[in-house]
A and B are shown apart, each in its own frame.
Chain A
Amino acid sequence: GAGVSQSPSNKVTEKGKDVELRCDPISGHTALYWYRQSLGQGLEFLIYFQGNSAPDKSGLPSDRFSAERTGGSVSTLTIQRTQQEDSAVYLCASSLSVTAQPQHFGDGTRLSIL
């Protein structure tokens, strides 16, 4: 497709379950970013990839969060043993490279932990 695609668009799960969120960046974009937005809050940066490599994982809020990217394209963000404070909209963005802007965003995955 023409834009960044994220799936699922909505996810409701029980506390303690694992969830996997998917991001399909714009074709040819080597840089990929994950952010999250809690209700009524601004965007919080989580992690970025240049190609398949994530040079800095310090933005991930806890060790329950992990992300990977294979083939320089699709990325998955995994949250293990979900907690209620993980409820948020998880947004993915891509750009041609880390040095090139702008970043183009998907519409996010709305994650609700019961």
Chain B
Amino acid sequence: DAKTTQPPSMDCAEGRAANLPCNHSTISGNEYVYWYRQIHSQGPQYIIHGLKNNETNEMASLIITEDRKSSTLILPHATLRDTAVYYCIVRENYGGSQGNLIFGKGTKLSVKP
């Protein structure tokens, strides 16, 4: 089962920041937080990941709370092409017995003009 909880849907106005929350209260010390998104009819796309510190790349920023029990993905200037299902996933960077990602239901982000 997924170890994360996300709101099922969110709306965002085009050009505004989209802030997507994720709760992972049972995260363990060696588990990373990963974010992927899936645009309709495409495979999931990696966005960003982090362990403790906040991270930023060309796509997004990841803010992780000090207790690591929750995080927020920030798309600074959302465009219509950012409309997608966003998945928050926690896992060790050692694959253990399988190495697979466990996807929950994600948050469907709708960016509106």
Chain A residues within 8 Å of B, Cβ to Cβ? 4, 31, 33, 35, 42-43, 45, 48, 50, 55-56, 59, 91, 93, 95, 98-108
If A43-B103, A101-B34 touch, whether A91 touches B44 (CB-CB below 8 Å) is yes
Interface residue tally for chain B (C-beta within 8 Å) = 25
Q: Which of B17-25, B65-73, B75-83, B93-101 lies at the interface?
A: B93-101
26 A-B pairs in the complex with CB atoms less than 8 angstroms apart:
A4-B43, A42-B105, A42-B106, A43-B44, A43-B101, A45-B98, A45-B100, A48-B95, A48-B98, A48-B100, A50-B99, A59-B98, A59-B100, A91-B44, A93-B43, A98-B99, A99-B95, A101-B34, A102-B34, A102-B36, A102-B46, A103-B46, A103-B101, A105-B45, A107-B41, A107-B43
| List of A residues within 8 angstroms of B36 by Cβ | 102
Please count the residue pairs between chain A and chain B whose beta carbons lie under 8 angstroms apart in the complex.
Answer: 64
If A101-B34, A105-B45 touch, whether A31 touches B99 (CB-CB below 8 Å) is yes
Interface string of B24-64 (1 = CB under 8 A from A): 00000000101010000111111001000000000000000
If A42-B103, A45-B100, A101-B34 touch, whether A106 touches B43 (CB-CB below 8 Å) is yes
The binding surface of chain B is classed by DSSP as loop
| List of A residues within 8 angstroms of B101 by Cβ | 33, 43, 45, 93, 103
Chain B residues within 8 Å of A, Cβ to Cβ? 2, 32, 34, 36, 41-46, 49, 91, 93-95, 97-106
If A99-B93, A102-B34, A105-B44 touch, whether A56 touches B98 (CB-CB below 8 Å) is yes
Minimum CB distance partner of A4 in chain B: B43
If A42-B104, A43-B103, A56-B98 touch, whether A100 touches B43 (CB-CB below 8 Å) is no
If A102-B49, A106-B43 touch, whether A55 touches B97 (CB-CB below 8 Å) is yes
If A106-B43, A108-B43 touch, whether A99 touches B94 (CB-CB below 8 Å) is yes
Cα-based distance from A33 to B98 in the complex (angstroms) = 9
| List of B residues within 8 angstroms of A59 by Cβ | 98, 100
